[in-house]
Amino acid sequence: MFTSADSDFDRRHIWHPYTSITAPLPVYPVARTEGVYIELSDGRRLIDGMSSWWCAQHGYNHPELAAAAQRQLETMPHVMFGGLTHQPAVRLCRSLKTMLPANLDCIFLADSGSVAVEVSLKMALQYWHARGEARSKFLTIERGYHGDTFGAMSVCDPVNSMHSLYRSFLPEHIFAPAPQSRFNGEWLPGDIIAFQTALAQNHRSIAAVILEPIVQGAGGMRIYHPEFLRQVRALCDEYGILLILDEIATGFGRTGKLFACQHAQVQPDIMCIGKALTGGMMTLSAAAAARRVAETVCSGEAGVFMHGPTFMANPLACAVAEANMQILQRNQWPQQVAAIERHFQTALSSLAGHPNVADVRIIGAVGVVETRHPADMAAMQKFFVEQGVWIRPFGKLIYLMPPFITAPQQMLKLTGAVAAAVGENRLFRQP
């Protein structure tokens, strides 16, 4: 039982994501999870619309993931990766090699998404160092999100991630405007011009371009035209600059392709993956690099890639991730994601005309309703819980990225709750 003393302790002593310690918003105690359900400690069962932030792609407590964890727990939960190796890491990386873009040949396993981003940035820096060039700038676009550690934060949207707070510490990189062309809309050729200019003017100091392919997640849930990504790839090739694609949110089927870069048929030089890698069971991430990049990195002064997390290639996480790759390789996800997308098309698109709605955006199993006014977080969260769903809006964004296994009736409950929330003026902070 989660007691009121537990709640008091939590409020007083435990920091939640992006939360005040003095005036925290309410948090809901969870007792257990199962399939698409999150069960609160008071017994209420909520249909999950978030997949725990992109992660639990096949729902919670998946028996195959649990069995893989159990088996691994009995033989070897963890062992250091320096000087040692193991089957769970080899099996996982074998699977990843068949699934990742074909040019990505060398895999660095890390512990969280942000760390994978740090690793990718360090790879790019070492790549240029080895080539005898001092390059330390990254080029990216506004509205991006790449994680909360300093390197990652330095390439996040400067406004959303409050670069001003950390100005004295944060490296300054180069930002171009985010593309305006919508995923399914017309390509507006002007979209690439500022990016092209930034590249032309700074290419001698730029180590790499880093982007979220097609879907900009936590920075605003924007979904852009694949032509932008194609042109970015072509420009990187023209200037000989590395392209890092951050697929931490989009990877493993969420957008209707295994990786979002496939919407544009481009391959990055380095790719970051994480989030759904273990099917939402535990943390694991990776940065995968083209062999040419990896070999150049290791031909430099250091002779090695200078990174090595304590829990690198944690066998427990690798075993679970490999079980998740097996589920994905059975290939049920494309139909599941397509069904969710069709549901969003009927249930969410119709909200576009509502006076409280500014925009509706859909790709694969991601449905976004951008409202005209920011949500009153506490009130809207409570409203959704009362409707029997777990949906966590931020700012003007109410978005759904449910587990792929969500059934049509459950989808109806999720989108019905969003439609109901949109109709309640009291759930929005009015100007």
Ligand X SMILES: *Cc1c(COP(=O)(O)O)cnc(C)c1O
Binding residues for pyridoxal 5'-phosphate, as ranges, are: 113-114, 246, 309-310
Residue of 30, 50, 18 whose CA lies nearest to 389: 50
Distance in Å, CB of 210 to ligand X, minimum: 10
**Residue 18 annotated in active site:** yes
Q: Which of 37, 60, 127, 145 is catalytic?
A: 145
Report the C-alpha gap between 72 and 161 in whole angstroms: 38
Nearer to ligand X, 115 or 347 (CB): 115
Nearer to ligand X, 157 or 383 (CB): 157
Report the C-alpha gap between 380 and 398 in whole angstroms: 10
Distances (CA, A) of 200 to 127, 204, 208, 209, 225: 20, 9, 13, 13, 22
Positions touching ligand X (CB under 6 A) are 112-114, 117, 145-147, 212, 217-218, 246, 248-249, 274-275
- b/e code 283-292 from CB counts within 10 Å (16+ = b): bbbbbbbbee
Q: What is the DSSP letter of 35?
A: B
Q: What share of the chain is helix, strand, coil (3-state, %, to 5)?
A: 40, 20, 40
Q: Which of 37, 191, 269, 275 is catalytic?
A: 275
Q: Where are the alpha helices (DSSP H) in 240-355?
A: 291-297, 315-329, 333-347
Residue of 140, 159, 142, 162 whose CA lies nearest to 150: 162
Distances (CA, A) of 287 to 272, 293, 299, 381, 389: 4, 12, 19, 35, 34
The 3-state secondary structure of 122-182 reads HHHHHHHHHCCCCCCEEEEECCCCCCCCHHHHHCCCCCCCCHHHHCCCCCCCEEECCCCCE
Distance in Å, CB of 242 to ligand X, minimum: 17
**Residue 275 annotated in active site:** yes
Angle formed by the axes of helices 377-386 and 408-422, to 10°? 140
Nearer to ligand X, 149 or 326 (CB): 149
Nearer to ligand X, 44 or 122 (CB): 122
Distance in Å, CB of 335 to ligand X, minimum: 25
Distance in Å, CB of 345 to ligand X, minimum: 24
Distance in Å, CB of 117 to ligand X, minimum: 5
User: What phi and psi values does residue 174 have, to the nearest 5 degrees?
Assistant: -110, 130
Nearer to ligand X, 49 or 113 (CB): 113
CB 55 within 8 A of CB 113: no
Distance in Å, CB of 274 to ligand X, minimum: 5
Q: Which of 111, 191, 246, 269 is catalytic?
A: 246
Residue of 232, 216, 228 whose CA lies nearest to 187: 228
**Residue 127 annotated in active site:** no
- Tokens 């769903």 — which residue? 389
Nearer to ligand X, 113 or 279 (CB): 113
CB 287 within 8 A of CB 119: yes
Distance in Å, CB of 286 to ligand X, minimum: 12
Nearer to ligand X, 249 or 362 (CB): 249
With CB atoms as reference, the residue minimizing the distance to ligand X is: 113
Neighbouring-strand partners of residue 349: none
Q: What is the DSSP letter of 26?
A: P
Residues known to be catalytic: 18, 145, 246, 275
